């Protein structure tokens, strides 16, 4: 496993390298304004994390990227294709995006290998033997080839999530979206999934990961995962944040922020940490 410092830096910023662009995106559920004037750009090969409390619109944001949720205002462009009501554009975008869900979403009546081969056979019209060979290669890539003939109910949570990652990779996507991929796992299983995500990062995959604030804090404390992402994005409520200058402590690490409804905020220091909580003795 490569050290965090060995992970390649983010690509040069440029319009020709833009893989994802969100411009003034709004999303409503009835009268509830879930996404408000979101601007976000992700370059080819870049990895970012979107963190925030439950209900702040993190999952809604990434679900809009593959049209699982429809935005009502603004523009979303994926690798040069704009997401509109045109079903041909939607299908073209979905073929380029793999998504890993919080609760795996595996078909319980299919084996691990059958879960992987379903989309290549039915969507890409791949011959069954070729799909089986591809599925086994990907199970080896996520280090569970011996589980190919088991059903999801016979696998641990970490193994099911690795099957879900392998299933997303079966379509050879250009972008991977991770919707809180470790939040439903026991602590000892989280390492299994993070190892796979780190290997994808090392290969240059464009990645967006959604995580709650406490999960981001834990990951930033880990030396193994510190270099997985190029920049975090923070989402409180329905808006992104910028630092509140009046709230910064002498060390510049205060997390008190002012609400911002316009562009996203990128952390300037990749080695940034959440401040430690005061110990009980110091209270």
Find the mean pLDDT for residues 121-145.
Answer: 93
**Tokens 């995006």 identify what position?**
97
Q: What is the pLDDT of residue 280?
A: 53
How many angstroms separate the CA atoms of 19 and 14, rounded? Answer: 10
Q: Which range among 148-152, 218-222, 257-261, 266-270 has the greatest average pLDDT?
A: 148-152
Is the pLDDT at 172 greater than 70, yes or no?
Answer: yes
**What is the percent of the chain where pLDDT is above 70?**
69
Residue with tokens 């992970």: 7
According to DSSP, the residues that pair with 98 across neighbouring strands are 176
Cβ atoms of residues 187 and 218 within 8 Å: no
Taking alpha carbons only, the member of 76, 38, 74 closest to residue 58 is: 38
pLDDT for the residue 249: 37
| Structure confidence at residue 51 as a pLDDT band (50, 70, 90) | confident
Which pLDDT does position 275 carry in this prediction? 41
**pLDDT average, residue stretch 128-150:** 94
Which range is least confidently modeled, 93-107, 108-122, 126-140, 176-190?
176-190
The pairing of beta strand 32-43 with beta strand 18-29: antiparallel
| Whole-number pLDDT of residue 213 | 58
Weakest-pLDDT range from 29-33, 49-53, 93-97, 182-186: 182-186
With 90 as the cut, is the pLDDT of residue 163 above it?
A: yes
| pLDDT for residue 158 is more than 60 | yes
Looking at residues 168-181, what average pLDDT do you find?
Answer: 91
d(CA 185, CA 193): 9
pLDDT category at 8 given cuts 50, 70, 90 is very low
216-257 pLDDT, tens digit per residue, is 444 444 444 444 555 555 444 333 333 333 433 333 333 333
Structure tokens of 256? 């008190």
Instruction: Give yes or no for residue 41 having a pLDDT over 70.
Output: yes
Reported as half-sphere exposure (CB side, CA atoms, 13 A), residue 237 has a value of 11
Cβ contacts of 31 within 8 Å, gap of 6 or more: none
- DSSP letters for the chain: ---GGGSPPPPPP-GGGEEEEEEEEEEEETTEEEEEEEEEEEETT-EEEEE--TTSSHHHHHHHHTTSS--SEEEEEETTEE-SS-HHHHHHHHTTEEEE-TT----TTS-HHHHHHHHHHHTS---HHHHHHHHHHHHHHTT-GGGTTS-GGGS-HHHHHHHHHHHHHTT--SEEEEESTTTTS-HHHHHHHHHHHHHHHHTT-EEEEEE-HHHHHHHHH-TTTTTS-SEEEE--TTSEEEE-GGG--TTS----EEEESSB--B-S-TT--PPPPPPGGG-
pLDDT tier at 16 (50, 70, 90 boundaries)? low
Question: Does the pLDDT at position 58 exceed 60?
Answer: yes
Please provide the average confidence, as pLDDT, over all residues in the chain: 75
Q: Which residues in 133-155 are b (16+ Cβ under 10 Å) and which e?
A: ebbbebbebbebbebbeebbeeb
């Amino acid at each position: 496993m490569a050290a965090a410092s060995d992970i390649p830096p983010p690509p040069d910023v440029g319009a020709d390298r833009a893989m994802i662009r969100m411009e003034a995106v709004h999303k409503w559920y009835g009268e509830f304004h879930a996404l408000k004037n979101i601007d976000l750009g992700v370059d080819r090969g870049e990895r970012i994390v979107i963190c925030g409390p439950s209900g702040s619109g993190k999952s809604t944001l990434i679900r809009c990227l593959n049209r699982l949720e429809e935005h009502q205002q603004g523009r979303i462009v994926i690798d040069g294709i704009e997401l509109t009501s045109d079903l041909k554009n939607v299908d073209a975008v979905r073929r380029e995006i793999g998504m890993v869900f919080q609760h795996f979403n595996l078909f319980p009546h299919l084996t691990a290998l059958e879960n992987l081969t379903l989309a290549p056979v039915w969507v890409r019209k791949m011959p069954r033997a070729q799909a089986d060979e591809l599925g086994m290669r990907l199970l080896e890539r996520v280090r569970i080839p011996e589980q190919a003939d088991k059903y999801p109910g016979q696998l641990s949570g970490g193994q099911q999530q690795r099957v879900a990652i392998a299933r997303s990779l079966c379509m050879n996507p250009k972008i991977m979206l991770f919707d809180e991929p470790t939040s439903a796992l026991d602590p000892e299983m989280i390492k299994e999934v993070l190892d796979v995500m780190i290997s994808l990062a090392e290969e240059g995959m464009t990645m967006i990961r959604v995580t709650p604030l406490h999960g981001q804090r834990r990951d930033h404390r880990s030396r193994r995962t510190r270099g997985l992402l190029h920049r975090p994005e923070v989402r409180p409520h329905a808006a992104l944040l910028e630092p509140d200058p009046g709230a910064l402590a002498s060390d510049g690490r205060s997390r008190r922020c002012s609400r911002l409804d316009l562009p996203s905020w990128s952390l300037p220091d990749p080695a940034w940490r959440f401040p430690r909580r005061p110990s009980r003795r110091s209270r």
